[in-house]
A and B are shown apart, each in its own frame.
Chain A
């Protein structure tokens, strides 16, 4: 009988196979699913509470740092080698320059507050370090100088003040006991306030992202991402580079949409065909400054006057501004690098607009894509004799913000920057491009065909190098 039972089982299995295999084979295929981006999103772990771990009394920030590396011996040393601490990029050897150049707040200027050099008192409240002193060189090699708390402490318990020191009144023990993995508020304390205020500089990073609604940013809002979900971090080295502070960016250092999303994520073939020419951001970041206005121009030449003051229009210490909300980005070819970065001492032509960071790429560059940038223009001081941009002392002792005397502000900067000042200054037009890559919108809010194509499209095809709207004239890869 055992044999028969075996037969019975074999028969049943045989019948099942005969039934199931063909059904599976002919089962209707649904449209191919894109890869699931959630597979690539880090899982948030519950942080170890340090409430009972951290002991002792802390007089200075460095006291806390020393306590940190008792248990995390490599941490401070790791931070010391990141740009959060060095404020200076790695050296770049670029065509047209004799010596390798580095870029960063430590040594270069922008067209907002112009230069951090000599203005450590104010600017360095966003440096991830302590112990800055007026007019003194800084010890970038002392790991006691690393500020652990700015990234890891609860932002309700910790903030930085002048010279990067803990703000007066901060309870360092409480702050130290609150440490955890950085959240949006940690990063946002500096990055949402670039340029000296909420959303001033970037346009796509504002304090609204601390508690973002779904329509402000799909990742942080609808899906509650924190910054480090995309800006993944290894040994305190954080992925993601800002083009204004770099010349050439290794794709491995950069955050890309395709880190999580499929490279052909749309069901529509026509949309996927766009991806060799159009960056994801172009359609999915249709506008910046969705919530808080961002600064689009800054005229330093009107500073120093006793005019009515308003954060959004005029300040005596800074001059005249224009802020805009819901800003449509500028669209440029961009291969991820710069073709030019203004380096301190570079000659300018004061009669033309000097672009301080020119995104690299053009229609003939197959690696370049059309990318959205927030454009910030400024009228900023330059030396009329030497024809280079000047980096005044503003927030520092005896700086322009106290004296309202440009000449002394430039004189004071000479020993700091090492650039001579002729005694004659003027104001030159400059521009900077800031990539628009946050405030990402889901498909429902993304740009659609007629936003770029057709009579009312937002792209200037001729300027981009096309003969005309590629919907009629063909794209750049069609003619071979």
Chain B
């Protein structure tokens, strides 16, 4: 063992040198790292390491001057192939594209995604392989819509899975040709010069991506420069005087790595999503919107605006704006961002297993992907809802966080909303919490005609003058409510906007139906950029040389034939007008409870919100009735109704087996019940009238009268309590049935009184049954089988004849035998059939909130309610008859009523023999 002093001199020197070197190295590391720490403070993205920008060949762009390749640059650390393959924003339906498969039942759709699904609003049709005519080839698709998609998928890859650049260059191949705007003829596209549009990571992961510059580059077909253009405006790249992109070496360090202050990679913000999806407003300036502008597609088709600003502080010329002090969207106001609900499906922070697959016993599953793994393989399939309008990646429907994932809806509503469970299982949260849209939305697109701008004649709902200018008064609109079938099997009434489109279709040479190309429509309508003379002759009614909106519509057979003939002249077979209604789900723009619908009678009344119609169009082009787009998750069970020239969608809740108290009713039940009630009323009136007339001159009966203690006090209590209850039940039931006839009464209150009264009635009935059984009083109610019919006929004869002659009652009323045979059989019916039935149907309706299965077995609310209503009519009729018959019981009209009050009744004394005698006589 040596120690330091034992070492030789040179050893000591070396040791000292090593020691010094270690110290120096440590100091350097410290200084460098301290320096880095200092630097990282200026970095906007706190943790993202620096990196170099690589081109498609993996060479640094500063060296090559080529466009940045995100697949290579980001792919240095993140698995960009994985990202592209797990990314419906990139795929857009490409992977399930099928030629001529009529996807979702649409004759012209080749996929579920925006690449292959034809949208009549944007109109241009992505031509399928082998189609006779080229409309939109892939190159032109990217020019038109490239700035609206992330890139990758169809922007780099052909429909056969091979890169676009390797597709066989043929003019009849829609992947390698485009329609020359000058000639209208297909031209070859050179993918090798244009390059393709890779996934643009910057678009969603940088604070201020320049999508406008990107759009410009795409429009010019310089696809490979698209992602570089997104960086324009940052320090990284600039455009020279000729518009070419020049990388700025000053933004990078000496190793060509990005300087820390230029690293601004982030999770997508609402503004990132907004670039393609709709209007998001988060700046301090007042919000301004252009009505129905397809540049903000989601806002244009639904009126949804994502902003935490108060509506009252917006710059929109909105009716009653000063009273609208709530935010456009409460979640935006409360800093809940798009990605908080629409998260990456393997993000270990955001992901929570769906309650549908998570065992009920498990509140939280702590097992998550390691962060490093996630960053390497981030799933870019974003959790999504189940909207009607987007069918791409159907296997991912319903994966996002929905209202109930965060909100304990049942407990919040339980303290004020009766039948909470029933409401929540019937009505989507959005229905009450998005009661009104405050931005306009598209109503209809009529492509059967072309405006001077070569677009459809479109209408916009919720704004005057179709929103031609920002000063037009916006009123917003109420969404229409339609039953939505969720992937988890629930069916909920939810809010929608309906957009109706009319357009010409034709059968191509292969016999496939295709929308008429815009270029063909243009040649039908225009000559030298103005309407052709034939069009003017047919359309210009007032002859002023211009086509007003009311003239530019196909509202006569002549016009229709003219266009059809001109389309045929272009070689299009069987041109005809087709039309569809596309429902657009409304799920954003949520308001808190204070601004939500909470008045029962919004829905529970004749003019129910659930039956509120929606105007689809002011006129029906070519008189062609549209059909709902198939393959959506809405029932669309309502009717399309014409009203004058206009077209309405009228919801039919009953068609969805919805029975809405206060709104739904069956005409025949009320007619039948009402008629029976009236018949009884008329019958007793006639009978009573005759009694008065016929007995006026005859003398009172000579019978001996005896005062008998007829009714025990409990019997009287039971009777009058039941009387009060039945009257209350009939009245409240009537109000619940027809709340529109009884303004100002609390619907909830009536339901409560009805239910509580019914419960008391049931208890009262059981107690009295117990009483009657134990005391034997029940015998009064049970008909004697022996001679029953004879007795009944005898009693019937009395009512039909004897009573008019003041004849004695056929049977003596005694405390032991209070009822005559007719009464016995009537009460048997009422108390043993009607009352229990009414009780059971009532209980089942009440139970619809917690155990609907039993009620559903018997027809659900529609069946139960119909029956309950009918029986209620019978009860009402019975009361009339019953009250009338009390006047026949005693010597004086009110004797029986008095008896039921006091217990004492004056009854005729019959000889015990008498009745026997009468029987014997027969």
Contacts and interface: CB of A to CB of B under 8 A. Distances in A.
Interface string B837-866: 000000000000000000000000000000
A278 to B, nearest CB: 15
Interface residues of B, number: 42
Interface in A80-115: none
A18 B312 contact: no
A347 interface: no
A471 interface: yes
A455 to B, nearest CB: 7
B724 A19 contact: yes
A22 B753 CA distance: 9
Contact of B309 (A4, A27, A267, A450): A450
B398 interface: no
Nearest to A8: B901
A454 interface: yes
A444 B312 CA distance: 9
B527 interface: no
B568 interface: no
Given A15-B717, A449-B308, A4 B416 contact: no
Given A267-B594, A268-B592, A450 B327 contact: yes
Interface in A1-49: 4, 7-8, 11-12, 14-15, 18-19, 22-23, 25-31
B756 A267 contact: no
Given A450-B335, A471-B335, A26 B755 contact: yes
B760 A18 contact: yes
B284 A11 contact: no
A94 to B, nearest CB: 39
B58 to A, nearest CB: 36
A445 B325 contact: yes
B585 interface: no
A170 interface: no
Contacts of A31: 415-416
A294 to B, nearest CB: 22
Contact of B760 (A19, A27, A444): A19
Contact of B308 (A22, A267, A270, A450): A450
Nearest to A471: B335
Contacts of B716: 11
B759 interface: yes
B267 interface: no
Interface in A462-480: 469, 471-472
A261 interface: no
B327 A456 contact: no
Given A4-B902, A29-B415, A448-B333, A14 B753 contact: no
Given A15-B720, A448-B333, A449-B334, A26 B308 contact: no
B757 A450 contact: no
Nearest to B901: A8
B903 A4 contact: yes
B593 interface: yes
Q: Is the interface of A mostly helix, strand, loop or mixed?
A: helix
A23 B764 CA distance: 15
Interface string A151-174: 000000000000000000000000
Interface string B751-770: 01101110110001000000
Q: How large is the interface on A (under 10, 10 to 19, 20 to 34, 35 or more residues)?
A: 20 to 34
Q: Is the interface of B mostly helix, strand, loop or mixed?
A: helix
Nearest to B325: A444
Interface-central residue, A11, A25, A445, by most chain B CB under 10 Å:
A11
Given A448-B327, A450-B327, A455-B282, A23 B308 contact: no
A268 B592 CA distance: 9
A18 B721 contact: yes
B725 interface: yes
A453 interface: yes
Interface in B133-160: none
B713 A450 contact: no
B237 interface: no
A453 B336 CA distance: 11
Given A450-B309, A454-B308, A456-B283, A26 B333 contact: no
B310 interface: yes
Nearest to B415: A29
A335 to B, nearest CB: 28
B315 to A, nearest CB: 17
A262 interface: no
Contacts of B308: 448-450, 454
B184 interface: no
A23 B756 contact: yes
A443 interface: yes
A275 B757 CA distance: 44
B516 interface: no
A397 to B, nearest CB: 51
Interface-central residue, A268, A450, A453, A455, by most chain B CB under 10 Å:
A450
A329 B757 CA distance: 58
A267 B596 CA distance: 14
B732 to A, nearest CB: 10
Given A7-B713, A450-B332, A456-B283, A22 B325 contact: no
B752 A27 contact: yes
Contacts of A11: 713, 716-717, 720
Nearest to B310: A448
B728 A19 contact: yes
A326 to B, nearest CB: 13
Given A7-B713, A28-B416, A31-B416, A15 B335 contact: no
B594 to A, nearest CB: 6
A469 B757 CA distance: 54
Contacts of A443: 325
B749 interface: yes
Contact of A26 (B309, B721, B752): B752
Interface string A441-461: 001110011100111100000
B787 interface: no
B725 A456 contact: no
A456 B902 CA distance: 79
Given A4-B902, A456-B283, A27 B749 contact: yes
A30 B416 contact: yes
Nearest to A27: B752
Contacts of A455: 282
A445 B312 CA distance: 9
B250 interface: no
Given A4-B902, A8-B902, A26 B756 contact: yes
Contacts of B323: 444
B748 interface: yes
A367 to B, nearest CB: 27
Interface string B728-751: 100000000000000000001100
A445 B283 CA distance: 19
A388 B728 CA distance: 85
A4 B760 CA distance: 26
B418 interface: yes
A233 to B, nearest CB: 35
Contact of A456 (B284, B721, B757): B284
A101 to B, nearest CB: 43
Given A19-B760, A22-B756, A28 B335 contact: no
Contacts of B759: 22
Contacts of A18: 721, 760, 764
A25 B759 CA distance: 13
Contacts of B760: 18-19, 22
Contacts of A22: 756, 759-760
9 contacts: A4-B902, A18-B760, A19-B724, A19-B725, A26-B755, A28-B749, A448-B308, A449-B334, A454-B282
List 3 A-B pairs, minimum CB-CB distance, nearest first: A450-B308, A444-B325, A22-B756
Given A29-B415, A30-B416, A453-B335, 5 more contacts: A12-B720, A19-B728, A23-B756, A449-B334, A450-B335
Interface of A: 4, 7-8, 11-12, 14-15, 18-19, 22-23, 25-31, 267-268, 270, 443-445, 448-450, 453-456, 469, 471-472
